[in-house]
Amino acid sequence: MVQTQSEINQKNSSAVSVEMRKEHAEQIEKALQAVQGHDVQNIFFVACGGSMASLSSGDYFVSRELSLPTATYTSNEFIHRSPKILGDKSLVVLRSHSGTTPETVEAASFAKERGALTVAITMDLESPLAKAAEYIIHYNYKDGSNAIDGELGMYYTFIFKLLNQLEPNQKFERVVEQLKTIQSLIEKNVEKFSIQADAFGKKNKREESIYTMASGAYYSHAYSFTSCLLMEMLWIHSNAIHAGEYFHGPFEITDDNVPFLVVMGEGSSRPLDQRALDFVTKFSDKVEVVDVQDFDYGQTDEDLREFFGPLLAGPVMRLYADGLAEHTGHPLSVRRYMWKMEY
């Protein structure tokens, strides 16, 4: 098949590599310089709900790639548990989309008082979180700019530069370089999965309960889909089951009519997911699979896919919630309690 010039242009442009804006790159460099001067012996990732889930991909990569202890905490547990190793050898990465989540703002102050180095990730430079933390990584949100300057581009660039600084490895440098194509990668995958995500919504529109299941770097995607998309935005009962834990209790709930959304990961945890999927499809007639190996990775190096899969899973899974919203007639913006009262 002969391609027209416009088709060739489109294909090339879809692999186009876009540099991060200068002020964004400088924020990341400042935070990394602070890490350089800080003798970091342990890392904490601290946030609430979907923000915690987003940060925990960082925790996952650190645990696999660095000889440093790392932990993820929901902000209020972090403050009340008050881990004893938290101190002047700690790096604490916090995140709140609006920068206003009170528990996370308090967690930043708490960590700073303990002498930790604090880095806040938020879309609002003027927010309380941005003011409470020492260093800020600010991302653009729905302003039409390239995804390299958005939440995924900024966070992943920061994490992989951090990994490279703490234990240098050329693969981390390649991740940072190739992250510059994420806008087109996201667009490709959103296009690729939109039809099956819509069909999922149609098929499941009358379900009152949908379990999610995943492991490894994808467990946090199951968690945020369960907590933020199904329970919060769609009022559908759910539980994010770890694929390894499935066989140690939860699998007994499986039955013909019990719906599951299973994320089949890319990378080292895939065998866990496969084992859970093999079982659940035998006994439930309502299993939907999001297979990260089916993602379009564009020009991404083969050995870096395990780092790009978790990044792309977010926008893809969002489509499945859009599908449910469309077919249940329940917009994702509807709330019973949030924004309507103090709590």
Residues at the site binding a second copy, with contacts judged by CB under 8 A: 42, 48-52, 60, 63-69, 71, 74-77, 80-85, 101, 103, 209, 215-216, 219, 224, 226-228, 231-233, 235-240, 242, 244-245, 247-255, 268-269, 271-272, 275, 279, 283, 335-338, 343
CB of 300 to a second copy, least distance (A): 22
| Amino acid at site 259 | P
At a CB cut-off of 8 Å and minimum separation 6, what does 18 contact? 146, 148, 180, 181, 183
Cβ closer to a second copy: 12 or 337? 337
In angstroms, the CA 72 to CA 223 distance is: 13
Cβ closer to a second copy: 50 or 58? 50
Cβ closer to a second copy: 194 or 254? 254
In angstroms, the CA 13 to CA 110 distance is: 46
Cβ closer to a second copy: 148 or 280? 280
**Interhelix angle 170-178/305-328, nearest 10 degrees:** 40
In angstroms, the CA 49 to CA 61 distance is: 19
Cβ closer to a second copy: 123 or 147? 123
CB of 134 to a second copy, least distance (A): 22
CB of 27 to a second copy, least distance (A): 25
CB of 272 to a second copy, least distance (A): 5
In angstroms, the CA 301 to CA 312 distance is: 15
CB of 92 to a second copy, least distance (A): 14
CA angle 43, 45, 46 (to 5 degrees): 135
